[in-house]
Structure 1
């Protein structure tokens, strides 16, 4: 799980498009904290801090603390809007979280041991089907990423979610099938080489019997 961080905010009484525009003109970002069976809380946040948090990676999978009106509220960013032209933050939604809060998040997929994949060694390529996987998990135990081990993966192999060791309490949202995360695709030459190796191994195996 990514390291948590704290943001200092100010409560805002007025809401709506006009109020939001005024907040942005003052160099701040309008935001809302909701959830946990409490009324929504409208706040403003420093523009620079939010900009770097959003563009620094892991923003939607990192629990933060927002300090406002003498209180500290644990939250998880759930959504944000960026200006379509200038790419600066326009608005952020936060979800209140507690020790028992369950959330649904997209977690990045990392691949290791590409150098130990026979298929990649022979010229095959890693075809990533899912760069992220959606999981149900505790808000205070969101993994930074899941790891797919390519050791032994050959041309034509598919790596499914069942092959990934997941942290305790983490469950894939798609639960009705063993979905594919990646495959090892090969060139025609590499495929012919693999088929030739298989054909050559078959008679030897028969002789041993």
Structure 2
């Protein structure tokens, strides 16, 4: 199972708010590893290296490795908390990942052929309804993104999940409807012009 990052960690001997504050004062981030039918383990990680990893992007949708006193543990970050005023990292929740596991993660949406999209060339605006799609994916093959091709998208069109070629063994968690990912919306000026033309045609018909 490929790993996108590796962080060194040590076991936290003490837990609780006081111990967590002491870790932060020492330049460490409190965290916990749970799951895979094993006991939860409280750990701490170096703050600087951990923040660099998070700021690279995709932290919640990548398999990583935590080197815990020499034991390599495959994990995925399920959540992390930032102090609201300073955006200071205060805690991370990791889940252990088995090689054959299936995970539910948010996969980014990537749009192709925006520069040649007929609707955009006519002045339309790409309205992104979903920047990510929640999907069930294999732990050993998490896709970087799903791709929406706009090559044939005209004004007023909608791009639905059914039109997307999904990676192998990946499926959206929403299965009861063909949900919209994006639309190509007409600019306000064009809408007003169309409405004016429709009104004029109606008046001419009335006459």
TM-score, L = length of structure 1: 0.88
Cα displacement (A) at 1:183:
0.4
For residue 3 of structure 1, report the CA deviation from its aligned partner. 5.7
Within 2, Cα distance between the matches of 1:65 and 1:115? 38
- 1:206 maps to none
Q: 1:92 offset after TM fit, Å?
A: 0.4
Listed as ranges, the matches of 1:93-172 within 5 Å are: 93-172=93-172
What CA distance in whole angstroms lies between the structure 2 residues aligned with 1:158 and 1:2? 35
Name the residue aligned to 2:19. 19
Size of the aligned set, in residue pairs, is 195
Q: Residues of 2 paired with 1:170 and 1:96: CA distance?
A: 20
Displacement of 1:118 in angstroms is: 1.2
Tell me, in whole angstroms, the C-alpha distance in 2 between the residues paired with 1:109 and 1:63: 19
- What's the offset of the Cα at 1:122? 0.8
Contact 2:35/2:96 (<8 A) preserved: yes
Give me the whole-angstrom Cα distance separating, in 1, the residues matched to 2:9 and 2:45. Answer: 5
Partner Cα distance (1:56, 1:187) in 2: 35
Q: 1:102 offset after TM fit, Å?
A: 1.2
Q: What RMSD in Å do the two structures reach over aligned CA positions? A: 2.0
Say if 1:82 and 1:177 are closer, same or farther in 2 by CA, change over 3 A: same
Q: TM-score, normalised by structure 2?
A: 0.89
Distance in 2, Cα, partners of 1:82 & 1:51? 11
In structure 2, the partner of 1:48 is 48
Structure 1 stretches of 5 or more lacking a match?
196-209
Distance 2:140 2:73 in 1: 14
What secondary structure sits across from 1:115 in the alignment?
A: helix
- Deviation for aligned residue 1:59: 0.5
**Residue in 2 that maps onto 1:30:** 30
Task: Note the C-alpha offset of 1:178.
Answer: 0.4
* Contact 1:51/1:88 (<8 A) preserved: no
